[in-house]
Amino acid sequence: MEIKVKSEAFEEGGMIPKKYTCDGEDASPPLSWTGVPEGTEALALICDDPDAPVGTWVHWVIFNIPPDTTGLSENIPPERVLESGARQGRNDFGNIGYGGPCPPRGTHRYYFKLYALDKKVDLEPGATKDELLKAMEGHVLAEGKLMGRYKR
């Protein structure tokens, strides 16, 4: 099954507006999705950049998003636990929450990957992408992604 992920801020493969980058407000973009399958107990989102010179760079890790959630609003605060109960992990900037695109050179791709899980993930806020991926193994019911690009 595939979840359809989209944003009001940019189209699939389109340019991410400056507002959502380190050159702007560094606000997380608004995201919405459809197609979450029955039996989903939690959602998880990872945003990363496979074009970073040091290897894939993680921009956002958020998990245990309630299953009936249909999107994330713009500018999610960098709190360890959100009002909904969702937990945010640590990005490769070393911070909790979202860290926007900030490529040193060239055009980079940023993937917002959403996962529907058959159980909540037993991780503390501040978990890394690798810890989340390990905890999700064998529990992914469906996934979807949205890719945006940015060039400084």
Span 32-63, pLDDT tens digits: 999 999 999 999 999 999 999 999 999 999 99
- Burial label for 104, CB within 10 Å (0-12, 13-18, 19+), is exposed
Binning pLDDT at 50, 70 and 90, where does residue 1 land? confident
Q: Alpha-carbon torsion 49, 18, 20, 31, what sign?
A: negative
- CA dist 3 and 144 (Å) reads 4
- Write the pLDDT tens digit of every residue in 98-107: 999 999 999 9
| Contact (CB, 8 A) for 60 and 113 | no
AA identity, residue 48: D
Q: How far apart are CA 3 and CA 103, in angstroms?
A: 28
- Give the integer Cα–Cα distance in Å for 152 and 141: 36
d(CA 45, CA 133): 10
Q: Which fold has domain 4-144?
A: Phosphatidylethanolamine-binding Protein (3.90.280)
- Please say whether the beta carbons of 33 and 44 come within 8 A: no
What are the domain boundaries of the chain? Answer: 4-144
Q: pLDDT of 103-140, one tens digit each?
A: 999 999 999 999 999 999 999 999 999 999 999 999 99
| Percentage of the chain exceeding pLDDT 70 | 100
Evaluate if pTM is beyond 0.95. Answer: yes
